[in-house]
Structure 1
């Protein structure tokens, strides 16, 4: 699942223009995942939607299977934004932290793997929570000067708390 290249950049060190272009791409690729997390945390539909391609897919099934849930794959930016933000609106407070990002680019496509720690607390009762450590596998595409998520698959390494209470609509 993880991008395991033995280096961060593919551009040769002496190729300044190529290095700068690759660093910009890498920052924009990682920013797509940051917009995904922060958009949820702020409950900001514009920011959250900006992380996705119009035809994006979000598969939370591998993570949810760990506690017996079977959510469908969400297809399309509008469905993803409506479903995720609708599920949490006025009910769940979240924080997301992204670590260990690894990026592989291939022209106008990229793959990002990262670990995301996601804290979910019921707004009315922070004693009911789920803390999740999730490996993310993300396919992205270039969208002008930025990158957007085309496919996001979320697995789960471990959790504590009660995910069923958080994710049950």
Structure 2
């Protein structure tokens, strides 16, 4: 589930063109997850949607199970965007910090693991909050010159606050 290779790049060091191509892919792969986080934080529908393939899946069930919630698997870019932004816009302020990105690439598919700290505060009362430390497992596909998320599984290592106030 998590990328645990002993090196970042697979292109041979002496092949400059291959190294540059791999670095570009890695930057675009990471950017897909950054668009996911910043799109939520800014409540920017276009930016958020740009992170996903049309047939994307978002699985928040492993994380939510930690506090007893049972959300459905979200399928399809439009459903994901409508559900997440609909749940947060005007009600929840968020910030996402994304670290520890590890990537493997296989042709036009890739796998990314990252650690995401997600702060959620009720807009009307910032004393109601949930701070989550979540490992992400992300499957991506090439979409022209960029990469998009096909499947995102969010687990939870720990949380503080009141996730039920934020997520229901």
State the TM-score, normalized to the length of structure 1.
0.99
The aligned counterpart of 2:32 is 32
User: Structure 1: how far apart are the matches of 2:89 and 2:25?
Assistant: 32
Ranges in structure 2 where 5+ consecutive residues have no aligned partner = none
Which whole-Å deviations, capped at 9, do the CAs of 1:106-164 have from their partners, x for residues lacking one? 00000000000000000000000000000000000000000000000000000000000
CA RMSD of aligned residues (A): 0.4
- Structure 2: how far apart are the matches of 1:125 and 1:15? 55
Separation in structure 1 between the aligned mates of residue 30 and residue 164 of structure 2, nearest angstrom? 29
Aligned residues: 168
Q: Distance in 2 between matches of 1:111 and 1:73?
A: 19
Alpha-carbon distance, 1:56 to partner? 0.1
1:30 match: secondary structure: helix
Partner residue in 2 for 1:141: 141
Deviation at 1:43, TM superposition (A): 0.1
Give the TM-score, by structure 2 length: 0.99
Structure 1 segment 18-167 matched on structure 2, within 5 A? 18-167=18-167
Provide the secondary structure at the position in 2 that maps to 1:166.
helix
Report the CA distance between 1:82 and its aligned residue: 0.1
| Structure 1: 5+ residue stretches without partners | none
Deviation at 1:2, TM superposition (A): 1.6
Q: State the distance in 1 between where 2:2 and 2:142 align.
A: 21
SS at match of 1:31: helix
Structure 1 stretches of 4+ with a deviation exceeding 4 A read none
